Amino acid sequence: MESAVSLPPPITVSSRDLARLEALLDSPALRHLPAAEALAAELERATVVEPADMPADVVTMNSTVTCVDELSGETHRITLVYPHDADVLQQKVSVLAPVGSALLGLSVGQSIDWTAPGGRPLRVRVTGISYQPEAAGHPQR
């Protein structure tokens, strides 16, 4: 019996995040990187909403989330940031990192299969969002 290929879950992205991420991906330095291509593919399938209409349970840029890798059992609390704000010591993960691209646009309870550097499979599930700029009424710079 063949295993079924699981479709990626639906994702939601704010129009502001989409515009900023598309500008980032247009950078000649990033355009052909595998991580940029993976993020671009995610953005193409996203439902886009205005920031004011973003549900509070969706991972947006600068959200602080708790997630679990269902294959390893590891739990992480990270903030999803733009590449220039990434800081591993502060658990700030770039949207261009594999787990960052995977988390963007997911809702609490959703999981996605993703591939880590070196080909290691991940199954990341969002278990909570402790801060989302849109829900907190904090317009992003």
Q: Compare 118 and 117 and report the one with higher pLDDT.
A: 118
**Calpha distance 87→111 (Å, rounded):** 24
Q: Which of 9, 39, 14 is nearest to 107 (CA)?
A: 9
**Calpha distance 41→30 (Å, rounded):** 14
Is pLDDT above 50 for 1? no
Q: Are 109 and 126 in contact (CB under 8 A)?
A: yes
* pLDDT score of 32: 79
For 46-66, what is the mean pLDDT? 96
For 67-94, what is the mean pLDDT? 94
Confidence of residue 2 (pLDDT cuts 50, 70, 90): very low
Q: Compare 21 and 122 and report the one with higher pLDDT.
A: 21
Reported CATH class of domain 12-134: alpha beta
Q: Where are the alpha helices (DSSP H) in the chain?
A: 15-25, 34-44, 98-103, 133-136
**Calpha distance 104→126 (Å, rounded):** 10
Annotated domain spans of the chain: 12-134
For 54-64, what is the mean pLDDT? 96
**Calpha distance 87→34 (Å, rounded):** 21
Is pLDDT above 60 for 5? no
**Calpha distance 132→129 (Å, rounded):** 7
Q: Write the CB contacts of 59 (distance below 8 Å, at least 6 apart in sequence).
A: 65, 80, 103, 104, 105, 106, 107, 126, 129, 132
